[in-house]
Structure 1
Amino acid sequence: MLKLHQLFLRTFSLIFLLMLLVLSVTIYFWSKHIYLDQIEKNLSQNIDSLSFSFTNLDNIKYIVKTFKAKTGNRITIIDEKGNVLADSDKNIKQMENHSNRYEIIHAKYNGYGKKIRFSHTLNEELLYVAKKIVVDDKIYYIRLADYTYKIQDNFTELVYQLIAFLTLFLVGFFFVTYYLSLKIKDETNSILEYLVQMSNKKPKQEIYSDFCEEFNKITRLLNKVASRLSKREKQKAKQTAKLKIANRQKDEIISAISHEFKNPIAIITGYAETILNDKELPSKMQTNFLNKIYSNGNKMSHIIDKLRLTLKLEEGKQNIMTSECSLRKILDEIVSDLQDKYTQREINIIGDDVKIKIDETLFSMVLTNLIENALKYSEDEVTIKITQDSISIIDKGIGIDENEINKINQKFYRVSQNGWNNSLGLGLFIVHSILKLHNFELVIKSKIHEGSEFQIKY
């Protein structure tokens, strides 16, 4: 298969050869027609000049020879019956009667006749022009003839000149065409190389062409396609990174859930095995072991409920039933339960009671989670401050790094730096989701080693 520049050159070469042939044939017939018209015109003028000098036939041979020498035309004088009376180029005794010649017949009836014919007498092709004249009341025909070989000579010279001109033109055009073909080759190679780079997804830089409008449009379109592909690759890379993070989070979640379930299951299994294997176990110890099994079963159930609630909140399937509730009453119940668990800790509630419209069960979970976190991650007292537009849980614990504050509301996000570990990473996600259902806002203020404040604005 030919390359583009080779096809381009071959096509133009064929076109120019065809043009040369067509021009040669056209110029030949065109020049022949012009030359014959010119010969005919000259012969007609010469006949007119010669006819004026024919006053008698006494000196006819001298007139014929003299006129032949001046014009170079063949001259023949013919009488009315077609007999040749004088000829500049041939002995009249060897010439036959001319009454049947085409040009003589036409001159007889029209006064003027012409014909291109091959002369067997001279063995050449000639143009004959004949005119009828009257001398002493007798009809004669003056016939002049010129050789057409001059046309061939003139045409040959013209063709040589034409070929030389077209050759120079063709050579010049060839170099121009060759230069254009090389430019086209360079442009196409550049585009092909860019396409290869695009297929490898690594275009080094944008491609540009100012050779012609078509190539310019192609390169601009290629740049747009490359830009879109690059954006898609970046999006794909981002999605891949997100999937990797999601997979890592999934592994962490499974690990966290396994860890959360491992201890209760181990405790339940250990105590149950002890009860089954030791038939003489004291009743009091047996009751104690059963209570341990029961509490750890409840702990596992609580973890499952927390996971189910997380899914409901995330999918927007959790509905709330609000009523006007006393914050102080809810806090008293929560603090009472937590102090049973954290017997050595002090929880202070300051501020006047406020009644707000909330879902009591869900909002109790929010306060329990925040207060218990404050107890877990601090050793000093925990303060609960109530105002008319907010409630704050304040501790003097390890604090949270500023970079982590915006992330801890995310599901399964766990902060391990400085000892902060949000268990499964669900607690604050649940808090944030429940507050969002109430159109409340959670504001977190914290400093490392100084403590944290979780403020709910309602």
Structure 2
Amino acid sequence: MLKIHQLFLRSFIFIFLSILLLISIVVYFWSKSIYLDQIEKNILSNIDTLSISLPNLKNIDQKVLEIKRATNLRVTIIDTDGVVVAESDEDKSLMENHGNREEIIAAKYKTYGEIARHSDTLNKDLLYIAKEVTIDDKVYYIRMSSEITTIKEYFIKLTLQLIGIFSIFLLLAFIVSYYISDKIRHETDNILNFLINLTKKKEPTNMSSFYTQEFFTINKLLNKVAIKLQKKEKSKAKHTAKLKLANKQKDEIISAISHEFKNPIAIITGYVQTLQNDKDLPIQMRDKFLTKIDSNANKMTQIIDKLRLALKLEEGRENIEKRELDLKSLCEIIAIDLKDKYPNRTIEISGENKSIQGDDTLISMAISNLIENALKYSEGVVRVEISQEYLKVIDTGIGISETDLLKITRKFYRVSQNGWNNSLGLGLFIVNSILNLHNFKLQISSIYGKGSEFIIKY
């Protein structure tokens, strides 16, 4: 399969060679026609002149020779019987009867007769013109002929000139067309390379072409296509990255949920098996085992409730019942409840009495989550400060990095690099959602390795 510039060159050469051949043929027949016409007119003029200058046939042979020398034309005079009366180039006595010659026959019925043929007598191509004349009141036919072999010489000369002229023109045209085809090849190669890079998903360089309007438009459109494809690829890559992250988070969530359920299930199973296997177990021990089973069942229920609450808060289906709450009293109750779970830890509550409008259960859950997080991820005293503008939970624990601070309130987001672990990753998401329901705001500030502050602005 030819390339476009090769097809262009071959077509160009074929067209010009065809034109050269056609012009040569046309010029040949045109020049031949003009040349023969000129000879014909010249011969007729000489015949007319000779007919006027011949009142009789006296010294006719001498006069014919003189005309031959003067005009370089072969002269033959023939009577009505076809007998050659005079001949300038041959012995007339040796010549056959000319009554049946085409030009003589034509001259009998027309103004004159003409024909171009090969002369066996002279072995040359001649143009014969014959015309009827009257000499001494008798009818004769004066026939003059001229060589036409010069037409071939003229044609060869003219053809060589035409070939030379067209060769120069063709060479110049070839140089121009080669330059054009080379530019076209360069432009098409750029487009092909650009498209190859696109198919291989390589980032193609920006193309520009000012050679022709068509190439400029094609390059402009290809650049737009490339930009759109790059945007789609980037969008696809982002989407893929999000899917990978979502899958990773899903695996982590499933792992976390599995871990959260595994311990209470294992404890419940262990105690149940013990109760089933040991029928003589003391009542005190049996009650202790049943209490543990109940505690762990409640823990599983709390995990499920937490998941359900997170879904409700996310979908905006959680209804709140607001009433007046005393924050300091609420925090003291929460501290007492957490003391049972963290007996060796200290929770300090300071500040003013502050009343707010809120849902008792949800606000308690939010504050409890913040204080418990502080207890989990620090070893020192956890302080709760209450003012007219905010409630602040302060710890001196491991802190949170700046990157994680931007994401920590997202659903199921869990920080594991530095030991910070939100269990299911729902705690702060639930806190933030509860506060949003009350038109409150959660602010978190932290210094990695030194501690964190969780502030509820109401």
Output the TM-score relative to the length of structure 2: 0.80
What residue number does 1:425 align with?
A: 425
What residue number does 2:393 align with?
A: 394
Q: What displacement does 1:204 show?
A: 6.4
1:8-54: CA deviation from partner (whole Å, max 9, x where unpaired): 55545544544444333322212211111111122223233334423
Asked if 1:350 is matched to 2:352, the reply is: yes
Asked if 1:62 is matched to 2:59, the reply is: no
What residue number does 1:321 align with?
A: 319
AA aligned to 2:127 is L
Q: What displacement does 1:69 show?
A: 0.6
SS of 2:355 mapped into structure 1: coil
Change (3 A) 1:290 1:333: farther
Give runs of aligned pairs for residues 70-109 of structure 1, distance below 5 A: 70-79=70-79, 83-98=83-98, 101-108=101-108
**Structure 1 residues 365-374 or 422-431, which shifts more?**
365-374
AA aligned to 1:452 is E
* Gapped regions of structure 1 (runs ≥ 5): none
Asked if 1:339 is matched to 2:341, the reply is: no
SS of 1:347 mapped into structure 2: strand
Distance 1:284 1:376 in 2: 32
AA aligned to 1:296 is N
Give runs of aligned pairs for residues 228-239 of structure 1, distance below 5 A: 228-239=228-239
What residue number does 1:385 align with?
A: 386
Residues 265, 296 of structure 2: 8 Å contact kept: yes
Residues 392, 454 of structure 2: 8 Å contact kept: yes
Distance 2:99 2:120 in 1: 16
Distance 1:412 1:331 in 2: 30
Give runs of aligned pairs for residues 83-232 of structure 1, distance below 5 A: 83-98=83-98, 101-108=101-108, 110-135=110-135, 137-167=137-167, 169-170=169-170, 191-203=191-203, 205-206=205-206, 218-232=218-232
1:37-76: CA deviation from partner (whole Å, max 9, x where unpaired): 1111222232333344234432433322111111111122
Distance 2:255 2:118 in 1: 117
AA aligned to 1:347 is I
Q: What displacement does 1:409 show?
A: 0.8
Distance 1:269 1:152 in 2: 122
Change (3 A) 1:444 1:218: same
What residue number does 2:455 align with?
A: 454
**Structure 1 residues 68-77 or 97-106, which shifts more?**
97-106
SS of 1:128 mapped into structure 2: strand
Distance 1:334 1:282 in 2: 40
Q: What displacement does 1:425 show?
A: 1.4
AA aligned to 1:411 is K
What residue number does 1:24 align with?
A: 24
What residue number does 1:412 align with?
A: 412
AA aligned to 1:321 is N
1:335-379: CA deviation from partner (whole Å, max 9, x where unpaired): 425413326534346344233xx5554444334333443555564
What residue number does 2:35 align with?
A: 35
Distance 2:22 2:300 in 1: 101
Change (3 A) 1:8 1:321: closer
Distance 2:205 2:5 in 1: 26
AA aligned to 1:353 is S
What residue number does 1:261 align with?
A: 261
SS of 2:408 mapped into structure 1: coil
AA aligned to 2:323 is C
Residues 444, 455 of structure 1: 8 Å contact kept: no
Residues 371, 393 of structure 1: 8 Å contact kept: no
Residues 116, 128 of structure 2: 8 Å contact kept: yes
SS of 1:412 mapped into structure 2: coil
Change (3 A) 1:439 1:90: farther
Residues 194, 203 of structure 1: 8 Å contact kept: no
1:418-442: CA deviation from partner (whole Å, max 9, x where unpaired): 7643332101112223344455433
Q: What displacement does 1:81 show?
A: 5.7
Distance 1:58 1:191 in 2: 92
Change (3 A) 1:363 1:243: same
Change (3 A) 1:348 1:276: farther
* Gapped regions of structure 2 (runs ≥ 5): 341-345
Distance 2:13 2:418 in 1: 84
Change (3 A) 1:320 1:342: same
Q: What displacement does 1:333 show?
A: 5.3
Distance 1:61 1:237 in 2: 112
Residues 432, 442 of structure 1: 8 Å contact kept: yes
Distance 1:285 1:179 in 2: 103
**Structure 1 residues 16-25 or 400-409, which shifts more?**
16-25
AA aligned to 2:381 is D
Distance 1:341 1:352 in 2: 22
SS of 2:75 mapped into structure 1: strand
Residues 114, 130 of structure 1: 8 Å contact kept: yes
Residues 51, 135 of structure 2: 8 Å contact kept: no
Change (3 A) 1:418 1:17: closer
Q: What displacement does 1:214 show?
A: 5.0
Q: What displacement does 1:86 show?
A: 1.9
Q: Percent identity?
A: 52
Q: What displacement does 1:186 show?
A: 5.4
Q: What displacement does 1:128 show?
A: 2.4
AA aligned to 2:319 is M
SS of 1:29 mapped into structure 2: helix
Asked if 1:286 is matched to 2:286, the reply is: yes
How many residue pairs are counted as aligned between the two chains? 450
